[in-house]
Amino acid sequence: MSKIPVTIITGFLGAGKTTLLRHLIAQSNGRRIAIVVNEFGSLGIDGETLRGCSIPNCPEEDIVELTNGCLCCTVADDFIPTMEALLDRPQPPEHIVIETSGLALPKPLLKAFGWPSVRTRMTVDGVITVVDGPAVAAGRFADDPEAVAKQREEDESLDHDNPLEEVYEDQLDSADLVVLNKTDLLDEAALASVEAALAGRKRRVRVIRAREGQVDPAVLLGLSAAAEDDLAARPSHHDGADEHEHDDFTSFVLPIREQETVERFTARLEHVALTHDVLRMKGYAPIAGKSLRLGVQAVGSRIRHAFEPWGNAAQGEGRLVVIGLHGLDPIAVQNSFDAG
Ligand SMILES: Nc1nc2c(ncn2[C@@H]2O[C@H](COP(=O)(O)OP(=O)(O)OP(=O)(O)O)[C@@H](O)[C@H]2O)c(=O)[nH]1
């Protein structure tokens, strides 16, 4: 029996993983693809976004959500049973795509594919790392990405005390393919500089540019990497550690009451982004006089919004998932939102 290929999509918070997945589903040409979405925090926004994608060949039951946080800590209880359940369906998927949380270290997930019940039936076709071009160009993960890449080549024991940088580098160092996304927000010189930094890394992988995650599925699927057999070539800052810390990051959900207008709501979000060091906000709000809800996405201070159906969510009850570094105070963020 041939093994079912699994593609892992990783990449930092807000890099464009869900956007890329939507494109992939829309272009799947009837191929039976099951999607497993792992979220950091307790509210599954990505799964909902995908379910609401209204793409005809994307049935809801093919989207499975794991919202219990870190995959590697829930492998036995959550992840393995989920994968087994997918395999045991009367019509098993032809391909499985896993979107990891933007804060996930991919290596523990790769290790899970060594589990006996999974190893015989699935193989990791490839790890695709989506990179947020503007965030890297702005030095969000390292003060000077090029200098760090160079230094890293020279010094294996380089001390990284920035948890963001560690996550970002672990995601890159597990990749079989890097998608440099949001090219519309960078000029050619900035793109070339980010590419140079990526090319300077020890693990050499192909980098392709993308806008709105638009990459041909033929490029993404079918890499035949068998990554589970190739762990040693994918270094991690956490190699050798039995457990890793989750305390670096925090996530909470704020209830959002009805907002007077779209502008008032986004102004409040902007105020939060300016006054607190938030990494990511996503959610939805009721807007006075509107039957649809307003979906919002914020990466740093860049905010996007669009009206969307309420789906299965309770009508009129808005929610905002906020993710930041440890110590981000929910009450202070709520106050900042209210004052905005
Ligand atoms: N300008 C621009 N925005 C983009 C592009 N791709 C994605 N976005 C926007 O970036 C935001 C984050 O995109 P997502 O696809 O939700 O990112 P993600 O990696 O799934 O985010 P997490 O699951 O929270 O880690 C959304 O507002 C997208 O619309 C792009 O190529 N250009």
The predicted-structure confidence for 296-333, as pLDDT tens digits, reads as follows 999 887 899 999 988 878 888 999 999 888 889 999 99
Q: Which tops the pLDDT comparison, 339 or 74?
A: 339
Ligand 1 centroid – CA 147 distance (Å): 27
Instruction: Give the residue carrying structure tokens 């829930």.
Output: 74
Ligand 1 in reach of 297 Cβ (< 6 A): yes
Q: How far is the CA of 17 from the centre of ligand 1 (A)?
A: 7
213 in the Ramachandran plot: left (φ > 0), alpha (ψ -120 to 50) or beta?
Answer: left
Q: Where in the chain is the domain with CATH 3.40.50.300?
A: 4-233
Q: How far is CA 202 from the centre of its chain?
A: 23
- d(CA 127, CA 145) in angstroms, rounded, equals 22
Which residue CA neighbors atom 9 of ligand 1 most closely? 16
Mean pLDDT of 14-29: 90
Q: Which long-range contacts (CB under 8 A, 24 or more apart) does 305-312 make?
A: 305/262, 305/265, 305/266, 308/52, 308/284, 309/52, 311/48, 311/51, 311/52, 312/48
CA-11 nearest atom, ligand 1 = 19
Nearest atom (ligand 1) to Cα of 46:
23
Question: How close are the terminal C-alpha atoms of the chain, in Å?
Answer: 58
Which atom from ligand 1 is nearest to the alpha carbon of 298?
27
Cα atoms found within 13 Å of the Cα of residue 326, Cβ hemisphere only:
8
Query: Quick check: 46 pLDDT over 80?
Result: no
Task: Determine the pLDDT at residue 189.
Answer: 95
Residue 54: phi, psi to the nearest 5?
50, 35
Domain 4-233 belongs in CATH node 3.40.50.300: yes
Q: What angle do CA 246, 104, 91 make, to 5 degrees?
A: 130
The whole model's pTM is what? Answer: 0.86
Q: Is 46 in the pocket of ligand 1 (CB under 6 A)?
A: yes
Mean pLDDT of the chain: 84
Instruction: Report the C-alpha gap between 169 and 257 in whole angstroms.
Output: 38
Ligand 1 atom 32: the closest Cα is on which residue?
182
- Comparing 105 with 218, the larger pLDDT belongs to 218
Among the atoms of ligand 1, which is closest to the Cα of residue 182?
Answer: 31
pLDDT band for position 43 (50/70/90)? low
How much of the chain exceeds pLDDT 70, in percent? Answer: 81
Q: What is the pLDDT of residues 116-127, one digit of tens each?
A: 888 899 999 999
Which atom of ligand 1 is nearest to 297's Cα?
27
Please work out whether the CB of residue 184 comes within 6 Å of at least one atom of ligand 1. yes
C-alpha 98 – ligand 1 centre gap (Å): 17
Whole-number pLDDT of residue 322: 92
Distance of alpha carbon 79 from alpha carbon 83, whole angstroms: 6
Helix, strand or coil, per DSSP, at residue 212: coil
Give 18 Cα–ligand 1 centroid separation in angstroms: 7
Least confident of 4-13, 77-86, 151-160, 311-320: 151-160
Distance (Å, rounded) from C-alpha 57 to C-alpha 27? 9
The CB of 48 under 6 Å from ligand 1? The reply is no
Name the nearest CA neighbour of 209 among 245, 182, 171, 172. 182
How far, in Å, is the centroid of ligand 1 from the Cα of 155? 33
CA angle 209, 47, 83 (to 5 degrees): 95
Coil, strand or helix at 294? strand
Instruction: Look at residue 158 in the predicted model and tell me its pLDDT.
Output: 47
Ramachandran sector of residue 274 (left: φ over 0; alpha: ψ -120 to 50; beta: rest): alpha
Share of the chain above pLDDT 90, in %: 43
CATH class (in words) of the domain with range 249-339: alpha beta
Per-residue pLDDT for 151 more than 90?
Answer: no
Burial class of residue 320, CB neighbours in 10 A (0-12, 13-18, 19+): buried
Greater pLDDT, 134 or 77? 134
Q: Is 117:27 a contact under the CB 8 Å cutoff?
A: no
Which atom of ligand 1 lies closest to the CA of 214? 31
Confidence of residue 290 (pLDDT cuts 50, 70, 90): very high
Instruction: Work out the average pLDDT over 47-57.
Output: 61
Beta-carbon neighbour count of residue 115 at 10 Å?
17
Task: Indicate whether residue 17 lines ligand 1 (CB < 6 A).
Answer: yes
Return residue ranges of the chain for CATH 3.30.1220.10: 249-339
User: Sign of the CA dihedral 260, 262, 267, 272?
Assistant: positive
Question: Which residue type does 289 have?
Answer: G
